[in-house]
């Protein structure tokens, strides 16, 4: 089955994901180098969308590219701190071989991502994204950027979209798992180095032999 038929939408499961047509999505503005011809988008800025729930995708999704609420190619809206002000942005997981995450501030236009990060797993790619964002004075206000979280171990297909809160002196419980891209309070946000330091400290409180 090709894109003309459309795969089932991984979000609503009722519609089909097909190439977007300008007539059906009049709010989308395509800046250069994208262009509209014969009513559809072409080039690097091609998009796909569900004909029922209208979810848009940066790439054509398939059944093997979903991790919890995350779908490969589907932008996830988040909030960031930029220059002391709250702004809207989007993070997209675009692949898992290697894990690839992109970031862009919302501007009203669909443009190329401003940051692209790679990693051996989703959390590693996200840490690289946070490092690159910090160089642009951007702090991502999501659970994956909290100073007290780290990757889940072992990494399984149904846990790759999660991070785990590490509470010093306490083993991990089922209440400690969080969606990586769900919103977090600014006061909880740290750096990837903070996260790695916290992991080391947590391990030492769990196993005194590591002190």
pLDDT exceeds cutoff 80 at 26: no
Show the domain range for 168. 67-210
Residues 100 and 181 in one domain: yes
Residues 147 and 81 in one domain: yes
Closest CA to 126 of 158, 157, 154, 94: 94
Report the pLDDT averaged over residues 51-64.
68
Residues 85 and 187 in one domain: yes
Q: Which of 39, 57, 75 is the last residue of a domain?
A: 57
Report the pLDDT averaged over residues 46-66.
68
pLDDT exceeds cutoff 60 at 112: no
Judge whether 137 lies within some domain.
yes
pLDDT exceeds cutoff 90 at 159: no
Q: What is the mean pLDDT of the chain?
A: 78
Residue with tokens 């903070």: 194
Report the pLDDT averaged over residues 152-181.
85
- C-alpha distances out from residue 91 to 1, 124, 159, Å: 29, 15, 18
State the pLDDT confidence band at 183, using cuts at 50, 70 and 90.
Answer: very high
**Tally of structural domains, the chain:** 2
pLDDT attached to residue 18? 77
Helix (H, G, I), strand (E, B) or coil at 90: strand
Judge whether 2 lies within some domain.
no
Residues 42 and 93 in one domain: no
What is the pairing mode between strands 48-50 and 16-19? antiparallel
Residues 93 and 164 in one domain: yes
Helix axes 192-206 and 122-134, enclosed angle (nearest 10): 130
Residues 74 and 33 in one domain: no
Residues 82 and 37 in one domain: no
Residues 48 and 116 in one domain: no
* Strand blocks (E) in 106-183: 115-119, 138-140, 149-151, 162-165, 177-179
Residues 48 and 149 in one domain: no
Residues 179 and 76 in one domain: yes
Calpha distance 90→85 (Å, rounded): 16
pLDDT attached to residue 108? 52
Q: Provide the terminal-to-terminal Cα distance of the chain, rounded to the nearest Å.
A: 57
State pLDDT tens for residues 27-49.
333 333 333 323 333 334 446 77
pTM for the complete prediction?
0.71
- At residue 2's C-alpha, the angle toward residues 93 and 59, to 5°, is 15
Residues 194 and 107 in one domain: yes
Percentage of the chain modeled with pLDDT above 90: 40
Judge whether 1 lies within some domain.
no
Residues 76 and 179 in one domain: yes
């Amino acid at each position: 089955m090709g894109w003309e038929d459309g795969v089932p939408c991984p979000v609503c499961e009722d519609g089909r994901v097909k190439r977007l047509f300008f007539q059906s999505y009049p709010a989308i503005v395509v800046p250069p180098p994208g262009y509209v011809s014969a009513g559809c988008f072409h080039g690097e800025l091609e998009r796909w969308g569900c004909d029922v729930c209208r979810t848009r995708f940066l790439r054509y999704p398939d059944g093997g590219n979903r991790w919890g609420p995350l779908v490969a190619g589907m932008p996830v809206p988040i909030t960031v701190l930029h220059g002391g002000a709250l702004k809207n942005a989007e993070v997209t997981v675009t692949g898992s071989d290697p894990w690839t995450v992109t970031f862009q501030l919302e501007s009203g236009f669909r443009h190329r991502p401003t940051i692209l990060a790679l990693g051996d797993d989703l959390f590693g790619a996200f840490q690289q994204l946070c490092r690159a964002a910090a160089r642009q004075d951007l702090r991502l206000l999501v659970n994956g950027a909290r100073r007290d979280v780290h990757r889940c171990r072992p990494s399984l297909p149904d846990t790759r979209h999660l991070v785990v809160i590490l509470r010093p002196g306490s083993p991990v419980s089922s209440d400690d798992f969080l969606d990586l891209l769900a919103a977090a309070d600014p006061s909880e946000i740290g750096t990837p180095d903070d996260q790695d330091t916290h992991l080391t400290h947590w391990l030492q409180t769990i196993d005194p032999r590591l002190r």
